[in-house]
Amino acid sequence: AQKVTQAQTEISVVEKEDVTLDCVYETRDTTYYLFWYKQPPSGELVFLIRRNSFDEQNEISGRYSWNFQKSTSSFNFTITASQVVDSAVYFCALSERVSWGKLQFGAGTQVVVTP
């Protein structure tokens, strides 16, 4: 069963527009971590953010912000004022207490930012 669902396959925006990436997860654990990773065209995986299941406080870091809602099992990610360098595939991932360390990734969302 799919543990992490990223329904958006691709999002195209023009530079300076905001873009929000959706992530819905499924777990029976009460303790878990959620992550966002970025994969630029060069292929490496870049860690962006993690949140544990007890911390629903949303956060802003520069142009990035996160919206974690346990009630809807969602962990959405927003890039404000997008730039061409933000063009990448973004993956949401889940790590459950029953299996710490095993990251379960969503299918990814391709973000294309055009000038």
Partner 1 sequence: EPEVTQTPSHQVTQMGQEVILRCVPISNHLYFYWYRQILGQKVEFLVSFYNNEISEKSEIFDDQFSVERPDGSNFTLKIRSTKLEDSAMYFCASGSGTPNQPQHFGDGTRLSIL
| Residues at the interface with partner 1 (CB under 8 A) | 33, 35, 37, 43-45, 47, 50, 52, 91, 93, 95, 97, 99-108
Question: How near is the Cβ of 33 to partner 1 at its closest, in Å?
Answer: 5
Nearer Cβ to partner 1, position 16 or 102?
102
DSSP letter string over 53-111? TT----EEETTEEEEEEGGGTEEEEEESS--GGG-EEEEEEEEEGGGTT--EE---EEE
Q: Minimum distance between the CB of residue 10 and partner 1, rounded to whole angstroms?
A: 12
Instruction: Please give the Cα distance from 15 to 56 (Å, whole number).
Output: 30
Between 40 and 83, CB nearer to partner 1: 40
Judged by beta carbon, residue 32 or residue 113, the one nearer partner 1 is 32
Q: Which is nearer to partner 1, 46 or 60 (CB)?
A: 46
d(CA 88, CA 38): 6
